[in-house]
Chains A and B, each alone.
Chain A
Amino acid sequence: MELRVTESSENELSIEIVGEDHTFMNVLKGALLEHEDVTAATYDMNPEQSGGQTEPILTIKTDGVDPLDALEDAAGDVREKAGAFRDAFEAAKAA
C-alpha cells in the first residue's frame, strides 16, 4: 500500500492512500473517530474528472498525539475488529 503525505503538521495530517475506495476508507475513518485524541477525521474520494486526483485523501486532526500514530493505532483497531468478527463468526458457524 502506497502512502503519500500531502500536508503535515504537528496535529494535522492529509495523506493519500493509493488504491483504496469507500470499502476500506469508511471503516478506517470510523475507527479513527473512535480514538480519544482524534478530534476530526474525514476522507475525500474524488471522481475521475477531478483533475487527475483520483486517490482518496484522508485528513486527520488530533489533540496531543502525532496524527501518524493515531493512524497506525486505527489500522491496528481495524485489524482487531476484523479478527474479533471472524472469531465470533467462526464460533457461531461451529455451534
Chain B
Amino acid sequence: MNAAAAKLVARGRLDTRALTRLRRVGILIPFVILFAVLSLTSESFATKTNLLNILDQQSATLIIAAAGTLVLVAGGIDLSVGATYSLAAVTSAHFALHTNPAVAIALGIGAGLLVGIANGVITTTFRINALITTLAMSFVVSGIAGLVTKGNLLVLFEKPGFGKFARTEFLTVRTSIWLMIVAVLVIGFVLSSTTAGRYMYAAGGNAEAARLAGVRVNAVRILAFALSGGAAGLAGVIDTSRVLSAQASTGDTALAFTVLAGIVVGGTSILGGEGAVWRTVVGVLFIALIGNGYILLGLDPLYEQITMGVILLLAVGLDALTRRTG
C-alpha cells in the first residue's frame, strides 16, 4: 500500500530528459571506454586472435540475442532459448552421425523453429503469459533433448564434414563468425526496416492500439518467437559444429539469462515496444569484454559475476527511470 502511495507522491516529479538521452546513446559509451581501457592495460587484448576468439565464442549468444530482441520488442520474452539451443545441438549431432551434414543442419535449425512457433502459438492463441510459457517449454524441450541423446555425449570427431559448417576459414575469419554476422544483419534488418519489424514495435508498445490499427498482433508475435527459436536452433548447430560434440545439458537456463542480460544491458526495454538489434550486439559484446578482461588482467573471477549483476541492475534501473515520466 505504501509503495502505491509513494508512487502517487513521485508522480511526474523527476525530470528524466538527461536520462532518456543517456539511454539513447546507451551502452555505446561504456563499451568504448571498456574497450579502450582493456586495449591500454592488456597487450594481448587488442590482437586479432583475441578479438576473433571473442566473436567466435559469442557467435551463438549474439545470434540468439539478436532474435530475442525482436521477441522483447514485440512485448514477449523467451526463456526457452537455452533449452532450444541444446535441442538443436543434439538433434544436429544425432543426424550428423547417421546422415549427411546438410540434413543434420536443416533438422537442427528446424527443431528450433518448431519450438519457437509452439511458443508463439501458445502465448498468443491460448493467452498464456510468455514468461511462463517459455519457462515451461524449456523443461519440455530439455526433456526431449535428453531423449534424443539418451543421456550420452554425442561425439562427432569421426564426422569432420559437419565441422566444416562453422570451422571453415574464409578471408582469415571462421564461418561461425560469418554466419553470425549474416544472421544478425538479417534479423536487424527485419526489425528496423520491414513492415513486420514495425508491427513488432507497435505490438509491444501498445497491443490494443496496434490491433485496432489493423495490425495482426498475434501473427507478429508468433513470427518473433519463431525467429527466436530458429535463431537458437542455428546457434546450437553452429556450436555443435564448432566443438564437434553435443549433449542435452549444453545450453540450459544459464544461456537464456546471458542472452537476456545482453539484450537488456544493450538498452532494449523488457516492457516491450523499444529496442534495437545493434544495441543488443553491443550489450552482448560488452558483457563478453568484461569476462575477457577479467581473464586477461588476471582478476578474481568471483567479482565478475558481481560486476555483471550490478551492470544489469543499472541497465534495468535506467529503463525504469526513463519510463517513469513517459
Q: Are A and B genuine complex partners?
A: no
Tell me the A residues contacting B by CB distance below 8 Å: none
Tell me the B residues contacting A by CB distance below 8 Å: none
